[in-house]
Structure 1
Amino acid sequence: MTALSELNPKPIWQFFEKICSIPHPSYHEQALAEWIMAWAQSRGLNAQRDEVGNIILRKAPTTGMEDRKPTILQAHLDMVPQANSDSQHNFTSDPIDAYVDGEWVTANGTTLGSDNGIGLSSILAVFDADDIAHGPLEALLTMTEEAGMDGAFGLKPGLLNGEILLNTDSEQEGEVYMGCAGGGDTHVIFHGEQKPAPVGLGATLTIKGLKGGHSGCDIHTGRANANKLMARLLNELSQQCPFALAAFNGGNLRNAIPREAHSLIVINEDKLSQLEQFIGNFQQTLEIELGAVETNLTIAMQSTTPSEQVFTDSFSQTLLRALNACPNGVISMSQEIEGVVETSLNLGVVETTANGQVKANFLVRSLVDSHRSHVEDMLASLFKLAGADVHSDGGYPGWKPDPHSPIMDVVRQTYADLYGSTPNIMVIHAGLECGLFKTAYPHWDMASFGPTIKFPHSPDEKVNIASVEKYWQLLLNTLKNIPKA
């Protein structure tokens, strides 16, 4: 098998191979951060960490570039931990098993971490090199972007000297981003009413095999949400075949479209054949509706020991109706930018706790902060009617496009000079940290670009090898073309 370090451009892939060897899911980036700090000190670089753990590197300009505007290269340290159900991978202790698959690099049954590991690798490669032209240079490597943008939230004014920021967290070569959606989390808690389980058979119902993906980049692709499918299945089943609900669980990250959901029910033995027939019919229905996108959708039933406690019929009915009714996916498309999602939401996690609570977590995204707030209010209205507690937090602003951005003109012209075509200047529905950076550094002129990464936040994640080379050349030539101060 081809080693990653043998791919071109070697400086990026050598660092990426090292990053893959160090576990770094969200909230577990410390080992990677310590390695970067040790490496930076060994290279004689100015390196520090701020109050929230962000890493800041500094490098003097190369000869003849001293008069250029100081520039910041930015990436985040963490990766999204998602694995197939048959994987035994432990993201906090095991290295990522990355490999070359034709024109792509992917991982064995897990997320790859090319989001944002390739961008991070490119920054380290720039700081490692002695033959790359650049002006005064800083790096900002942030903590826990994927789980709440902790590093961006905690960034203090006055730490960085740069005037231009190049964000490396975009995922389509040939596109340059000048804006992004803001977002926020909505938390719903149902206080379940329980009773002793009736006499019957225990059964676990599982929906699996969905593609999942990034709740921003992939929300418009028609990929199914396992939590919504399970709510629909149980709601329809309750109208045809009586059962008692003991648990509902699905998804594990609010920014990943859930690929699997599970429910535990108790059913009378004489209703078992009816349940089996219903599941078969329901799967056929979903194959008709979703078969063009969800090619591996599976609904399974497995006998299990009946739960001692189940939810009351009235509570189960309220819960399932609310989850079945709640909005999910694209709410509206941008009226200003053709083909771009304006507002969406993702029912990322449903969890039944040991004390009988059912918790549901949503990530709401929008290019328009007021519309995000409206969708959060929609959720609160619906779930409060169902008797649940609802609150929203973690809100972060979008990055408002600046049509007069000087660095955007530089990147656009640099791309055209390199490749003979004009890149698409876009606004991305995913959340970048740029909007939050504007809070502490409102004067920063920013652009975002990166290689082609498909299906981030899912075990199908892969990065196109050729696009990494094109991204690298764009980054190097953009640094060379940074305007004078």
Structure 2
Amino acid sequence: MSDLAQLSPQHLWQHFAKICSIPHPSKHEEALAQYIVNWAKEKKLHAERDAVGNILIRKPATPGMENRKSVVLQAHLDMVPQKNNDTEHDFEKDPIQTYVDGQWLKARGTTLGADNGIGMASALAVLSDDTLTHGPIEVLLTMTEETGMDGAFGLQPNWLQSEILINTDSETEGEIYMGCAGGVDCITTLPLTREAVPSGNQIFKLSLKGLKGGHSGGDIHLGLGNANKLMARFLTTHAQALQIRLLSFNGGTLRNAIPREATVVLSLPQANAEALRKAGADYLALLNYELAAVEKNMALQVESTECGLQALTPDSQSRLIGLMNASPNGVVRMSDSVKGVVETSLNVGVVSTEQDHAQIVYLIRSLIDSGKEYVVEVLTSLGELAGAEVDAKGGYPGWQPDPDSPVMNLVRESYKKLFDATPHIMVIHAGLECGLFKRPYPEMDMVSIGPTITGAHSPDEQVHITSVGRYWQLLTQVLKSVPERN
């Protein structure tokens, strides 16, 4: 963390270093939450938590600013836990190891947690920096955003006192977000039956690795490889010709991360072992040709193994491979009303097989509710054809754009004043919590800003150091410029 101590703004980077030192993957952010509450109370700030664990901290206005509108600075407490296959790291116990690489801050073989740790650090920096000028401040830190927006779902009315909310979860400096996609999880469960592995068959593990992965919202339009889909494609092409009998299929770890790895365990006649290796090499060459522009480090490994599982029956195998191969993935439709933005998409995020069933977890996103509903209907139809059960749950609304938003206009004018440039006003395909906040606080004026972060939800995550400084300048200028209460 010594590199962070040299960066500016110092308050922000000091808080981020502390955040990195306390493990806080989704569903395991309580230690960080307790640290922040204790820190706030030591600073003599009002701090409390609600029934779902969200943190609310209040800081009074600086002298002379008491009549300004109150502002909520909002971030989420959790981070996405992803690591490279050869990295030894326990996200529930080990701190994030950061390092500076030129203009970027990165982590050693894991996600960095800049999503949304930088935003969280900026909110804490506002609380700790008594040289700033601002009206009344509230800081809202929500629980378990990345795996279901638990904190946002649980936010109750009449807890926040502010008229303005600044969400800090955006990932491109110079862009101001005034709307986002909604989403819904879709889980397909396919019953499986098994039988003994054919006598004389040899067992192999086939592993597809080295894909970039990324954010299933913000990166879904980039054409990145989805390891689950690519593995299903291989099996579709070769299962019959090589007399493959499938024992297991597992890929991806999170429904909101584009899967980087997938592994199948299979058996086939010993006489076909060399043909399997050749088919794997040929398939890798094909993928390197097709995905050359976006995937640089793919590997397909074929190795002998042992497994205590029985083989799927031919019928179960055919249904699973067919369902996986036919599942849509990626961009479904681009928006007509917001040019250049994805309207509807889905990510085949996690595939797993158990003794008697397989499960496929999709995350569907859309700027419009009917887009989500359509994709759920498509997956339901596929499930019915395969004899699977489909369950859609955990849906959350999008954040509808308000082009007349006063705080959006304030942020835009503040950016022009600071940097002599006009920021882009955007709608993001990723899911922000603002849509859910509108339920208990329908009149709250909201905007989202942040520094430049790339590779979120993957071990390639990095944050641009200079952009953090510019984001901080913008945030503090906006707080200084908030108008008086009506």
Which range, TM-score by smaller chain? Answer: over 0.9
Cα distance between partner residues in 1 of 2:71 and 2:14 = 24
Mapped contact 2:227–2:259 kept (Cα < 8 A): yes
- Cα gap change, 1:195 to 1:100, in 2 (>3 Å): same
* Aligned: 1:351 with 2:352: yes
Q: Which residue of 2 aligns with 1:231?
A: 232
**1:241–1:271: 8 Å Cα contact kept in structure 2?**
yes
Aligned to 2:143: 143
Q: Distance in 1 between matches of 2:452 and 2:135?
A: 27
1:410, 1:227 → 2: CA distance?
44
1:481 aligns with 2:481: yes
Partner of residue 467, structure 2:
467
| 2:198 counterpart letter in structure 1 | P
Q: Say whether the 8 Å CA contact 1:29–1:143 is kept in structure 2.
A: yes
User: Does structure 2 conserve the Cα–Cα contact (< 8 Å) formed by 1:201 and 1:306?
Assistant: no
Shift of residue 74, structure 1, vs aligned partner:
0.2
1:292 Cα deviation after fit: 1.5
CA positional deviation for 1:273? 1.2
- 1:266–1:306: 8 Å Cα contact kept in structure 2? no
Q: How far does residue 307 in structure 1 lie from its aligned partner after superposition?
A: 3.9
Q: Are the equivalent residues in 1 in contact too, given 2:16–2:117 (CA < 8 A)?
A: yes
**Which deviates more from structure 2 when the two are superposed, residues 459-468 or residues 304-313?**
304-313
- Percent identity over the alignment is 54
Q: Is the 8 A contact 1:83 1:459 kept in 2?
A: yes
1:387 to partner: Cα distance: 0.3
Cα offset for 1:356?
A: 2.6
1-10 vs 452-461, which deviates more?
Answer: 1-10
The match for 2:166 is 166
- Post-superposition, which runs of at least 4 consecutive aligned residues in structure 1 deviate over 3 A? none
The answer as to whether partners of 1:107 and 1:462 remain within 8 angstroms in 2 is yes
- What secondary structure does 1:371 align onto? helix
2:47 counterpart letter in structure 1: A
Q: Which residue matches 2:246?
A: 245
State the Cα distance separating 1:118 from its structure 2 match: 0.2
2:322 maps to: 321
Structure 1 position 306, deviation (Å)? 4.4
- Distance in 1 between the 2:241 and 2:422 partners? 57
| Matched residue type, 1:183 | G
1:290 equivalent to 2:291? Answer: yes
Contact 1:202 1:307 in 2 (8 A): no
What's the offset of the Cα at 1:3?
1.6
CA–CA distance in structure 2, aligned partners of residues 32 and 2 of structure 1: 20
Residue identity opposite 1:110 in structure 2: T
Quote the residue 1:457 is aligned against.
457
| Cα root mean square deviation, aligned | 0.8
* Aligned residue identity for 2:242: C
Distance 1:295 1:129 in 2: 43
Aligned residue identity for 2:225 = A
State the partner residue of 2:382.
382
Q: In structure 2, give the amino acid aligned to 1:243.
A: I
Distance apart, 1:240 and its partner CA: 2.1
Q: Could you tell me how far apart the structure 2 residues matched to 1:104 and 1:371 are?
A: 36
1:34 to partner: Cα distance: 0.4
CA contact (8 A) 2:239 2:245 kept: no
Partner amino acid for 2:196? P
**1:428 partner amino acid:** I
SS where residue 92 of structure 2 aligns?
Answer: coil
Equivalent residue of 2:438, what SS? helix
Aligned to 2:71: 71
Give the AA of the match of 2:28: H
Q: Which residue of 1 aligns with 2:198?
A: 198
Partner Cα separation in structure 1 for residue 278 and residue 382 of structure 2 = 32
Q: How many residues align structurally?
A: 484
- 277-286 vs 423-432, which moves further: 277-286
Look up the match of 1:418.
418
CA contact (8 A) 2:23 2:31 kept: yes
* Structure 2 unaligned spans of 5+: none
Pairwise mapping of residues 41-440 of structure 1 onto structure 2 (< 5 A)? 41-199=41-199, 200-353=201-354, 355-440=355-440
Report if the CA contact (8 A) 1:197-1:307 is conserved.
Answer: no
State the distance in 1 between where 2:129 and 2:12 align: 11
Check 1:101–1:356 CA distance in 2 against 1; reply closer, same or farther (3 A cut).
Answer: same
Matching residue of 1:22 = 22
Structure 2 Cα separation of the partners of residues 305 and 435 of structure 1: 48
Question: Which whole-Å CA distance do the structure 1 matches of 2:433 and 2:2 have between them?
Answer: 34
CA contact (8 A) 1:69 1:162 kept: yes
- Aligned partners of 1:453 and 1:464 also within 8 Å: yes
**Partners of 1:267 and 1:347 in 2: CA distance:** 27
Greater shift, 236-245 or 153-162, is seen at: 236-245
Inter-CA distance 439–24: structure 2 relative to 1 (3 Å threshold):
same
Distance in 2 separating the partners of 1:325 and 1:272? 27
CA distance in structure 1 between the aligned counterparts of 2:185 and 2:269, rounded to whole angstroms: 39
Counterpart residue type for residue 238 of structure 1 = A
Cα shift at 1:67 = 1.1
In 2, the alpha carbon distance for the partners of 1:279 and 1:91 equals 33
SS in 1 for 2:151: helix
Does the 8 Å CA contact 1:16/1:118 hold for their aligned counterparts? Answer: yes
Shifted more, 460-469 versus 381-390: the winner is 381-390
Distance 2:2 2:137 in 1: 33
Residue 457 of structure 1 aligns to a residue whose secondary structure is: coil
Whole-angstrom distance in 2 between the partners of 1:306 and 1:447:
52
Given that 2:37 and 2:47 are in contact with CA atoms closer than 8 Å, whether structure 1 keeps it comes out as yes
Aligned residue type for 1:257: I
Q: Which residue of 2 aligns with 1:10?
A: 10
8 Å CA contact 1:46–1:58 kept in 2: the answer is yes
Shift, 1:239, TM fit: 3.4
SS at match of 1:440: coil
> SS of the counterpart of 1:414?
helix
SS at match of 1:14: helix
Distance 1:280 1:125 in 2: 52
SS at match of 1:411: helix
Q: How many Å separate the matches in 1 of 2:33 and 2:5?
A: 21
User: 2:56–2:138: 8 Å Cα contact kept in structure 1?
Assistant: yes
